[in-house]
Amino acid sequence: MFRKILFKAILTFCVLLFITQIIYCAPKKIKVYVEDSHSGHFYYLAEELDFSSFYHLINFDTPPDDNFLKYFSDIRLLLKDTIDNRNVLEHLRSDGAIQCYNWIHGLTPSPINGITWVPRMTFFNELQYDISHFLEATGEWFSNGRTYVVNFDYLDNERYADKKIIVSIDLDFFCQSIEPIQDIKSIFSFIMNLDNLEIITIAISRPYLLNDSFTFKVLYEVLRELLDSSAIEQIRFEPFLKQVNDTSWKASSLKTSGIEVPYFDITKAPRNFKLLLIENKHRIIVRQSTQEWEEFIEVINE
């Protein structure tokens, strides 16, 4: 009798140990969102994040091209009690209330309660100045010690070991890069080793990029890095969403000069980019303008 009880106890322990190993050794699954304007990341994160938790944002981006504090108070007041209301978010998007330069506002001080902003070295001092004024004016939301401006070479995984991480990459980060492909690989080598990485968002930011050729070249490499990761099952991609009522300095200056703002146009994609989409169409999820997407895939698949 004792041997049977001991055997059952050992067997139960082994089963529990095996289940525990499966749970803890299972690869992490990271959510990914891709859209032209950084403003769209606000709407995605507002729906995806747990607002009872806190997250740290690592943002690879150039400084905002308009007043960092523009509409800050209005956005916070509007969203304070309605952040989980889908109708409110849809109304904000249709009105163009959130822009590429203020998309973070509605997500701070919660659930994002800290930011590491990683600019190109060219913009390092400028961004430090902007951030210092932002902190001074919004001290109730942030405190020094939770918001940093950091050169990529000084990023340290250990700093984020106890934080839930969101990474946002704006493709205009690579505009002044001598070797953009190598820079992309270096960034992904860093972020994919973050233990608590939960979400990656990619802003194409076509108005800020050199031309369509550069846009698709950089986006192709970013998508390849994402698709090569076993931690990423699907990519949410919204190629047809456009910024409504673009009030950024870039858009305003182009319009003043009589130049049409060059938003992302997937129909201009080169052959290698189209092949990447076809080969991975089962992993790429489009929820807006689905008919246009299906027609696009059908055409390039012929």
User: Which tens digits make up the pLDDT trace of 139-184?
Assistant: 444 444 477 788 888 888 888 988 999 999 999 999 988 899 999 9
User: For position 126, what pLDDT does the model report?
Assistant: 58
Question: What is d(CA 97, CA 71) in angstroms, rounded to the nearest whole number?
Answer: 9
Element (H, E) at 165: strand 164-170
User: For position 294, what pLDDT does the model report?
Assistant: 95
Q: Which of 284, 270, 285, 277 is nearest to 217 (CA)?
A: 270
Q: Number of helices (H) and strands (E), helices first, in the chain? A: 10, 8
Question: What is d(CA 168, CA 171) in angstroms, rounded to the nearest whole number?
Answer: 10
Question: What is d(CA 215, CA 204) in angstroms, rounded to the nearest whole number?
Answer: 8
By the 8 A CB rule, do 202 and 191 touch? no
Question: What is d(CA 300, CA 302) in angstroms, rounded to the nearest whole number?
Answer: 5
Q: What is the set of domains in the chain, with CATH numbers?
A: 28-300 (3.40.800)
User: For position 174, what pLDDT does the model report?
Assistant: 95
Strand partners, 33: 201, 236
Question: What is d(CA 64, CA 61) in angstroms, rounded to the nearest whole number?
Answer: 8
User: For position 214, what pLDDT does the model report?
Assistant: 97
By the 8 A CB rule, do 203 and 174 touch? no
User: Which tens digits make up the pLDDT trace of 73-104?
Assistant: 566 666 655 555 667 777 788 888 888 888 88
Query: Does pTM top 0.75 for this prediction?
Result: yes
Report the C-alpha dihedral over residues 204, 164, 227, 99, rounded to 10 degrees.
-10
Low-confidence ranges of the chain (pLDDT < 50): 2, 6-7, 14-17, 20-26, 137-145
By the 8 A CB rule, do 29 and 89 touch? no
Question: What is d(CA 215, CA 250) in angstroms, rounded to the nearest whole number?
Answer: 17
User: For position 122, what pLDDT does the model report?
Assistant: 62
Token reading at 279 = 């080969």
Give how far Cα 164 sits from Cα of 28, 160, 201, 203, Å: 13, 8, 15, 20
